[in-house]
Structure 1
Amino acid sequence: MSLHQNSFSLPPADGGKDAWMVLVSCFFIEALTWGFPFAYGVFQDHYSRLPEFEGNSSLLPAIGTTTTGIMYFGAPIVYSICRRWPRFRKISVIAGFVVIIASLIGASFATTPFQLLATQGILYGIGGAAHYFPAFLYLDEWFFARRGTAYGIVWAGGGAAGLALPLTMQWILSEYGFRTALRVWAVTSIILATPAMFFLKGRLPIHHASTGPQKVEIGFLKDPAFWIFLSGNIIQGLGYFLPTYYMPSFARAVGLKPIAGTIAVSLTNVSTMLGSVIAGWFVDRYHVTTGVNICILGTLISIFLFWGFAIYAPMLYIFAILYGIFAGGFASTWAGVIAPLKHKCPGVETGMVVTLFAAGKGLGSVISGPLSGALVDADGWSGGGGFAWGSGYGLLILFTGCTAAAQIVGWFGKQAGFVK
């Protein structure tokens, strides 16, 4: 009997060497996959000043939002396939990484905005989704009681990469150009991602093919609570990425040195790391709507009190830090949505819900690219004074704040009894 028990014993969850190694691997995969698109604002500012990209410059804002949009959109697809056929998990991780490297090398040879959109935008997004989202399956096997904290730590990886990457990329872009910058990041990714993929492993034995595909639980889709939280998440996604994409050009518009916008992007990204961990810890202990409401309040204060008056560098930096902490914490609250959903669907999986929320955010991201360009072009406050509101980005500031406030629908759903 003891031999039988030992044959099927599992390593400990929520702690231990193997669990922490998987968590560290997921952290690096997050950092490398998302850190680059989160620094796109620096590339956008650089591309907009190059003669070869002047013909279709309106496409440039769509490159960054297309990347993140496709990655988010691909989340439930990749997750469902790898959940149903577990043997594809590591294959997806490796194949996706190869596509990422191909996209970076391909973009380094681009001569038109359309080519950049196809490579740095679309191809990177496809590879990023396949490479990144199987990590959730590994994470769900290793963490249960500390799942919110684990997801928060992993999502902090994007913020960690986002601290140094914008500053480093701006230096390479200004000294050597975007072709060298893209190739340098491709080589760096290969060096850092290879060991992370090696240590990524499951806690549970992979089912033999004879057992057939594994069932994917989707009963939670009948719960109104899921759709309430998802709707708020989609609307919030319309404005979430805009500050980091436009900070460098915004800094130029208000008369600040170009480096000020890049520093602000880095501060936002590193603050997101802190906000992700705090929000993840919070939803492990309190109702998810409490965590969401705190994120909403902090985000609105950062936007309307600090970004709206950010004509001086210190004010812009304060906005960047606060926005990173509070708006960056929204994603970590996704894991907290599981608790209300379990009342009607006990078998709901965190990874499946998180990837669907990621797809919702991706929808908002894709729409926000052309929409944000239209808002800037149509800004009637431009040149009209009123601090940052008259910078040409006043409508963008207002739009970002209003979309962030949409997450309050979760709290209203709780008051109405739809969310337990």
Structure 2
Amino acid sequence: MASISSNNNKASTEQQDNDEQEVFYFAHQPTLEPVTSRLSHISNLTDVSTQKDEESILEDEKTTRRLSAVSDISNASTVHELEFTPEQESDSYGWFIVLAAFLSQVVGLGIIMSWGVMQDYYEQHVYGQESATVIKLSLVGTLGNFALNVFSPFVQILVSTIGIRSSVLLATILSVAGLELSSFTSEVWQLQLTQGILFGGGGSIIFYIGMSSVQQWFSHKKSGIALGISTSGSCFGGLIMPLIITPINRRFGISTCFRILGGITCILYLLSGFLFKDKTTTPSHKKASDEEAGSSSAAAAAAKDVDIKPVETTEKLSLKKTLLSPFKVIQFDVLKDVNFILWCLADIVIELSYYTPLFFLPSYATSLGLKDTKGSSLISITASCNAIGRIFAGMIADRIGHINTVIITGFLAGCSAFLIWTFAYNFVSLVFFAAIFGFFGGAFVTLGPSTTAIITGMDRFKSGYSLFLLVTMVAMFGPNLAGALEAYFTTHYNQEPYLTYKLFTGVGYILGVLVMVVLKWRIHRGRLFSKL
């Protein structure tokens, strides 16, 4: 019994120890709640990390789209046709630039074109009609045209240094001073300095600004019609100015006439200067199809977040940098382009002939016994038809090509000199010649900037056009050369008076057309009937 009791006590003691161990075990075991909390915290961290990764991926995709948009813009030439539109303004302002160029040419070139009327007055009432005197007087108009061209590279530097409107103000001062000082002259050489160099120098500034600005604003569309309207200003000036000059000369004298012309010039130049401005451009895509339009819109939307600065077409440079290094402004490498040289040669040959009828038609009419008013009216007829013809040439050029238009109109102008002026001995036939020659003869002037841009490209256009005007300045001496030839042949060969002027005009145009044909052959590799 004692043994059984001992065993029971031992079993009870073991059971108690086991219970105590079990209680101790469970008392020291970790609860499930902290573990669950930790797992939840880890899960939350994972979710946050995943969310951040997703946001990072979205940001990367957005950045990629931005960079892709910028890349599309910078490489648009390979996918789309790159256009340039003004920042914060419509392309419609370009027509105000056309108006400014038109008004400035009404007086700037209109007065130069009307020099034949002034010269006829001087021959009839002041200096006489001796050959030497006629040549000296014709040199006044020639120097005006010469200054118009020779100063063009300096004008480009001037505009780059002081800006457009300050340059126009300087042009106004020079031109008005030239006309006002002309009213006090008593010698031909004084007229050459005032009316020729001073007035022509001011005209050079505003002429370059007008023509280059129009080509800049309409470089991608409607450049022909815009240039046609702009350059027609000189023709309307040539139409209006003789009608103003002749009655004033008769009633008040030529000194008063110069002063009145100075006032008109001041008003129109200042108005033009108010309208002229640079075109600030930003690149944008031209949509080629509906499918491309969607992607282009998306790219443009993404590109809005990218800081793309507009391109300034005219950068103002310091005077010191400009004077020390004109190569920073003028790209002289265009003179190495054979096509550019051919274009300059063609223009020189044509322009040698262009001014000859304008200078000598009034005196030719009076030599036939016609009144001076009829001689003046011939210049007005030529100018009015020239204005219409320039606008027409611009419209046609946008359709068939600018170089093609120069070739066709030049050929017809040359034929008019050979076939009409050669046999014109009365007022009716002279009117017919003035109308035909005026309509076709000035197209090369209208399309000068656009043809230059075709050859040089817009990146070198301003330098190309200023150098083009400089190189072709020798053509301004066409009337003087024609006058010298006329004096030689009439003196030594008893040739019919004014026949040299007629033949000189026709030959010049035809030779210029032949050079233009060679130029087109080179550009389009023999495809003479292609659009260019």
TM-score class, shorter: 0.7 to 0.9
Normalised by the size of structure 2, how large is the TM-score? 0.69
- 2:276 & 2:166 partners in 1: Cα distance? 12
What SS does the corresponding residue of 1:48 show, helix, strand or coil?
A: helix
- 2:458 & 2:109 partners in 1: Cα distance? 31
CA positional deviation for 1:284: 2.7
User: What value does the CA root-mean-square deviation take over the aligned residues?
Assistant: 2.7
- 2:507 & 2:491 partners in 1: Cα distance? 17
Alignment deviations for residues 274-310 of structure 1 (CA, whole Å, 9 cap, x no partner): 1222222233333333212211221022211211111
More divergent stretch after superposition (98-107 vs 236-245): 236-245
- 1:252 & 1:412 partners in 2: Cα distance? 40
Q: 2:233 aligns with which of 157, 164, 172?
A: 157
- Counterpart position of 1:60: 137
- 1:19 & 1:51 partners in 2: Cα distance? 45
Structure with the bigger RCO (C-alpha within 8 Å, sep 6+) is 1
- Counterpart position of 1:290: 404
Q: Report the CA distance shift for 1:136/1:415 in structure 2 as closer, same or farther (over 3 A).
A: closer
1:183 aligns with 2:259: yes
- 1:218 & 1:279 partners in 2: Cα distance? 30
- 1:9 & 1:64 partners in 2: Cα distance? 42
- Counterpart position of 1:110: 185
- 1:380-395 matches, within 5 Å, as 380=490, 390=496, 392-395=497-500
- 1:126 & 1:215 partners in 2: Cα distance? 20
- Counterpart position of 1:320: 434
1:415 aligns with 2:521: yes
Q: Report the CA distance shift for 1:224/1:174 in structure 2 as closer, same or farther (over 3 A).
A: same
Would you say the 8 A contact 2:350–2:511 is kept in 1? yes
CA positional deviation for 1:273: 1.1
Q: Point out the structure with max Rg over C-alpha.
A: 2
Normalised by the size of structure 1, how large is the TM-score? 0.86
Look up the equivalent residue of 2:467 and give its one-letter code: L
1:353 aligns with 2:467: no
CA positional deviation for 1:355: 3.4
CA positional deviation for 1:220: 3.5
Q: 1:306 aligns with which of 416, 420, 424?
A: 420
- Counterpart position of 1:5: none
Would you say the 8 A contact 1:382–1:394 is kept in 2? no
1:405 aligns with 2:405: no
Would you say the 8 A contact 2:119–2:137 is kept in 1? yes
More divergent stretch after superposition (58-67 vs 141-150): 141-150
CA positional deviation for 1:69: 1.3
What SS does the corresponding residue of 2:399 show, helix, strand or coil?
A: coil
- Counterpart position of 1:263: 377
CA positional deviation for 1:362: 2.4
Alignment deviations for residues 230-265 of structure 1 (CA, whole Å, 9 cap, x no partner): 101112222211101111110012222222211110
CA positional deviation for 1:198: 1.4
- Counterpart position of 2:62: none
What SS does the corresponding residue of 2:464 show, helix, strand or coil?
A: helix
More divergent stretch after superposition (163-172 vs 373-382): 373-382
Question: How many corresponding residue pairs?
Answer: 398
Q: Report the CA distance shift for 1:152/1:181 in structure 2 as closer, same or farther (over 3 A).
A: same
- 2:428 & 2:336 partners in 1: Cα distance? 47
Q: Report the CA distance shift for 1:406/1:80 in structure 2 as closer, same or farther (over 3 A).
A: farther
Q: Structure 1: which 5+ runs fail to align?
A: 1-7
CA positional deviation for 1:148: 2.5
- 2:267 & 2:127 partners in 1: Cα distance? 32
Report sequence identity in percent: 25
Alignment deviations for residues 305-324 of structure 1 (CA, whole Å, 9 cap, x no partner): 21111111111011111111
- Counterpart position of 1:246: 360
Q: Report the CA distance shift for 1:340/1:91 in structure 2 as closer, same or farther (over 3 A).
A: closer
- Counterpart position of 1:78: 155
1:122 aligns with 2:122: no
Q: 1:396 aligns with which of 492, 501, 505?
A: 501
- Counterpart position of 2:75: none
Q: Report the CA distance shift for 1:199/1:311 in structure 2 as closer, same or farther (over 3 A).
A: same
- Counterpart position of 1:4: none
Q: Report the CA distance shift for 1:54/1:286 in structure 2 as closer, same or farther (over 3 A).
A: closer
- Counterpart position of 2:97: 22
After TM superposition, the runs of 4+ consecutive aligned structure 1 residues lying more than 6 A away are 53-56, 381-384
Q: Report the CA distance shift for 1:354/1:19 in structure 2 as closer, same or farther (over 3 A).
A: same
What SS does the corresponding residue of 1:285 show, helix, strand or coil?
A: helix
- 1:152 & 1:136 partners in 2: Cα distance? 11
- Counterpart position of 1:234: 348
